[in-house]
Structure 1
Amino acid sequence: MRTIGVAAILAALSLPALSADLTPGDFRALLAESDATVVLRSLDEASWNAFLTHVEAGDRGWIDLVPLLAAGTDAGTSESLVITLSRALRANPQGVLSVLASSSYAASDICVDNEIEISTLDAVRLIDEALVKVAGVLDPALSQVRNECIYALSDARIAALI
């Protein structure tokens, strides 16, 4: 993993072509020097979209950054994080459940159908996929949040069918 000074990272943020190349370690270095609001305001659209793409893909290093950045979000970025964590359930349910267990996010916000303008059949298919993945998390430390998520996903499935 490369080591970059905070000044170099901040300089990279001013160059859109470079800023999307930030790593989770780069974000942690930025957060060690500035609060989450400053870090989020310094991101360009490419950086933010790259961050969300990594989280949605289930990369644990990126998922673990979500609670650290959440404190600096506005309504739009907060909603983006919730939707992205919801989608990440299918890629890395254990990582998302760990975030739920250690942050102020609620299962009722994350373990739902957060897809926009999809058919009922597609919504149910995605919920079912998440249900199977979440049910497969057997870590005893995550059992309570896993069960909360299963109940929330079950409710979302019923709501999608109604």
Structure 2
Amino acid sequence: MRTLGVAAILAALTMPALSADLTPSAFRALLDGQDATAVVQSLDENTWNAFLAHVEAGHRGWIDLVPLLAPGTAGSTSESLAITLSRALKANPAGVLSVLAANPYSPTDICGETDSAVSAIEAARFIDEALVKVAAVMDPALSEARDACLYALTDARIAALM
């Protein structure tokens, strides 16, 4: 019975029309049935991009999946996930810090990278906004991740302006 459920979810993942209907609980069901690498490899481009869009928008249920999926990423999927988390700092800094606290990424991976496609001024503006958002997170459980992220953001700002 469980195999049938996993098969049905996998079938939905391969159908672009249904990829927008996926939920965090559907991803969790996939992860219950197989390892993260198999799940990530089963995702089509539309589904992966939809997942990334939810994470970038700061949707907590989707951000909570990152520590579960991150071990299954490599190369471009790992890089796109790190960039997306970095962008999500402004939308949901506490959610991103919870990912950092779970240790699938270093603070430099998420808070120290800047988008090379933007100008130095645009990068500095983004970093300034992220600094304010991250500094406002006062959850004691996230204080170590917050402080490490603030340090990495500060370094990234200096590097962006050099």
Class of the TM-score when normalised by the shorter of the 2 chains: over 0.9
Structure 1, unpaired ranges of 5+: none
- The alpha-carbon deviation at position 21 of structure 1 amounts to 1.9
Identity of aligned residues (%): 70
Rounded to whole Å, the distance in 2 between the matches of 1:160 and 1:37 is 34
Counterpart residue identity of residue 10, structure 1: L
Partner of 2:54: 54
Partner of 1:80: 80
Question: Normalised by the size of structure 2, how large is the TM-score?
Answer: 0.93
Partner of 2:158: 158
1:135 aligns with 2:135: yes
Counterpart residue identity of residue 73, structure 1: T
Answer yes or no: is the 8 Å Cα contact 1:16–1:44 preserved in 2.
yes
Partner of 1:38: 38
Rounded to whole Å, the distance in 1 between the matches of 2:86 and 2:46 is 21
Which moves more between the two structures, 131-140 or 64-73? 64-73
- The alpha-carbon deviation at position 137 of structure 1 amounts to 0.2
SS at match of 1:12: helix
Partner of 2:15: 15
Question: Normalised by the size of structure 1, how large is the TM-score?
Answer: 0.93
- The alpha-carbon deviation at position 56 of structure 1 amounts to 0.4
Structure 2, unpaired ranges of 5+: none
Partner of 1:93: 93
Regions of 4+ moved over 4 Å: none
Answer yes or no: is the 8 Å Cα contact 1:24–1:61 preserved in 2.
yes
Answer yes or no: is the 8 Å Cα contact 1:127–1:157 preserved in 2.
yes
Question: C-alpha root-mean-square deviation of aligned residues, in Å?
Answer: 1.4
